[in-house]
C-alpha cells in the first residue's frame, strides 16, 4: 500500500495511505459536510487549487458515472477521506472513484482522521498544505510548501473556463426516466460567462426554458452589449468559479460595462461576488468557508436548506445599493441580493443543488421570467 505524507502550514505533519493519483501537490485545504455527491464535489471547478476533506466517513461506496460529472475533468488537488471503498454498489455506477482520481491526476488520501482535520480547520481556518507520495521528509515538505504560490495568488479561472463558445442543450436530470430532459428552446437566449460553471447550472437554465450559450471568461462586454441591443440575447448569467474574486481585475472591468448597459443579469457564487466587486464593494474571506449541502438560508422568513461552496462573501454594506433577499442562518452572512432599480440579482448558494436539496430551484425560473 502506497503511503502519502501531508504537511500543513500550521506545522501539522501526518502520514496516511494513498489511493488515486501519485505525486506531489500543493493547495488550500477545506472541509465539506455533504453526506452524498462526492463525485459532483470532486468535479466542481470551484474546487480548483483545493484539497477537499470529506466529513462523511464512507466515500467511494456508490462508485462513479459519466452523468454525475460537473465538468469535463476534476480540478481539485486532492481529497481526504476516513474510509475509502474500492468495491462499490449502485445500479448507476460505471467505475470506481480511484480510477476517476487517477484519470484526472487527483491525489486520494485515506485512513486519516478527518474529524481531527475538520476541527482544526474550524478552529484555525482554511490553510495551505502539501501532500506527496514521493517526499516523506517533514522539513522538505515544509520547504516545498513555503516556496509555492498561495491559492489567492493564482488565477484558476484561466484554467477552468471554456476556451471556445458552445451551446448547451441538456435540461435537468429526470430520475424517473433516467435521462436528461431536452427542454424546448425559447426565443430568448442567455449568455453564460464561464468562470468555472457547473454542468447542472446549465441544465437548470435550459430546464427553465432558456437557450444557453456559454462563452469564455475572456469575454468582450462590448460585443455582448451590441448583441443585447440587437435583441439577439435577453440576459447574462455569471457563473460560479474558483479562487479569490479580487484578483479578477480584467473580468471586473468587463462586468462593469455589462452593468452600465442595464442588461438583465443573474449570478451564482463567484458571479455573485463579481457583481459586488464591480459595483465597488470588495469581498472578504471567511475563516473556513461554507462547503456542504445542509446550510439553512432565510428567504424573507422562509427557510431553505441549500448547497454551499465558497470561501469568500459580499460585505454587509452592500445594502447601500442592493436589497438583501437571502441570509445564511448559520453565520448571518448575506446569501442573496437584488440590486436596486436594476434587473440584476444574485445568490451565494447553489440553487442547482448538485449535490444537495432542491428547494431553491425557483430562482432559475425567476431569471427566465425577467429575460422573457
Tell me the catalytic residues.
Answer: 269, 350, 352
Indicate left, alpha or beta for 229 from its phi (over 0: left) and psi (-120 to 50: alpha): alpha
Beta-sheet pairing, 13-20 with 334-339: unpaired
CA distances from residue 286 to 187, 213, 344 in whole angstroms, order as listed: 41, 32, 25
Q: Which residues contact 14 (CB under 8 A, 6 or more apart)?
A: 5, 6, 7, 8, 112
Q: Which residues contact 299 (CB under 8 A, 6 or more apart)?
A: 325, 326, 336
Handedness of CA 344, 349, 355, 361 (dihedral sign): negative
CA distances from residue 314 to 127, 218, 260, 276, 371 in whole angstroms, order as listed: 21, 23, 20, 6, 25
C-alpha grid cell, residue 272: 455573485
Scored b (16 or more CB within 10 A) or e, 334-353 reads bbbbebeebebbbbbbbbbb
- Please state, in angstroms and rounded to a whole number, the distance separating the CA atoms of residues 37 and 42: 9
For residue 253, the 8-state DSSP code is: H
C-alpha grid cell, residue 291: 462547503
What is the number of alpha carbons within 13 Å of residue 194 lying toward its C-beta?
24
- Please state, in angstroms and rounded to a whole number, the distance separating the CA atoms of residues 96 and 85: 9
C-alpha grid cell, residue 223: 460585443
Amino acid at each position: 500500500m502506497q503511503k502519502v505524507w501531508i504537511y500543513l502550514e500550521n506545522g501539522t505533519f501526518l502520514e496516511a495511505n494513498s489511493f488515486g493519483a501519485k505525486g506531489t501537490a500543493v493547495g488550500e485545504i477545506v472541509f465539506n459536510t455533504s453526506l452524498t455527491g462526492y463525485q459532483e464535489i470532486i468535479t466542481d471547478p470551484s474546487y480548483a487549487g483545493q484539497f477537499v476533506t470529506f466529513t462523511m466517513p464512507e466515500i467511494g461506496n456508490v462508485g462513479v458515472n459519466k452523468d454525475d460529472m460537473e465538468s469535463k475533468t476534476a480540478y481539485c488537488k486532492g481529497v481526504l477521506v476516513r474510509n475509502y471503498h474500492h468495491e462499490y454498489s449502485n445500479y448507476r455506477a460505471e467505475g470506481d472513484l480511484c480510477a476517476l482520481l487517477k484519470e484526472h491526476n487527483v491525489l486520494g488520501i485515506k485512513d486519516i482522521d478527518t474529524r481531527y482535520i475538520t476541527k482544526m480547520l474550524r478552529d484555525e481556518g482554511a490553510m495551505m498544505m502539501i501532500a506527496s507520495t514521493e517526499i516523506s521528509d517533514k522539513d522538505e515538505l515544509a520547504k516545498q510548501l513555503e516556496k509555492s504560490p498561495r491559492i489567492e495568488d493564482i488565477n484558476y479561472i484561466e484554467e477552468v473556463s471554456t476556451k471556445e463558445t458552445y451551446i448547451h442543450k441538456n435540461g435537468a436530470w429526470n430520475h424517473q426516466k433516467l435521462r436528461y430532459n431536452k427542454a424546448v428552446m425559447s426565443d430568448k437566449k442567455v449568455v453564460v460567462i464561464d468562470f468555472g460553471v457547473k454542468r447542472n447550472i446549465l441544465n437548470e437554465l435550459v430546464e427553465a426554458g432558456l437557450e444557453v450559450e456559454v462563452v469564455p471568461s475572456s469575454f468582450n462586454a462590448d460585443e455582448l452589449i451590441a448583441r443585447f441591443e440587437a435583441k439577439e440575447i435577453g440576459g447574462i448569467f455569471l457563473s460560479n468559479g474558483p479562487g479569490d474574486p479580487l484578483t479578477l481585475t480584467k473580468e471586473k472591468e468587463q462586468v462593469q460595462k455589462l452593468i452600465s448597459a442595464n442588461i438583465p443579469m443573474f449570478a451564482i457564487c463567484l458571479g455573485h461576488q463579481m457583481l459586488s466587486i464591480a459595483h465597488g464593494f470588495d469581498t472578504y474571506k471567511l475563516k473556513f468557508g461554507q462547503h456542504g449541502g445542509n446550510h439553512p438560508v432565510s428567504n424573507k422568513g422562509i427557510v431553505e436548506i441549500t448547497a454551499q461552496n465558497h470561501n469568500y462573501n459580499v460585505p454587509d454594506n452592500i445594502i447601500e445599493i442592493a436589497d438583501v433577499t437571502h441570509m445564511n442562518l448559520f453565520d448571518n452572512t448575506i446569501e442573496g441580493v437584488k440590486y436596486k432599480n436594476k434587473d440584476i440579482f444574485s445568490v451565494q448558494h447553489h440553487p442547482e443543488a448538485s449535490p444537495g436539496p432542491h428547494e431553491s430551484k425557483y430562482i432559475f425560473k425567476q431569471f427566465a421570467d425577467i429575460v422573457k
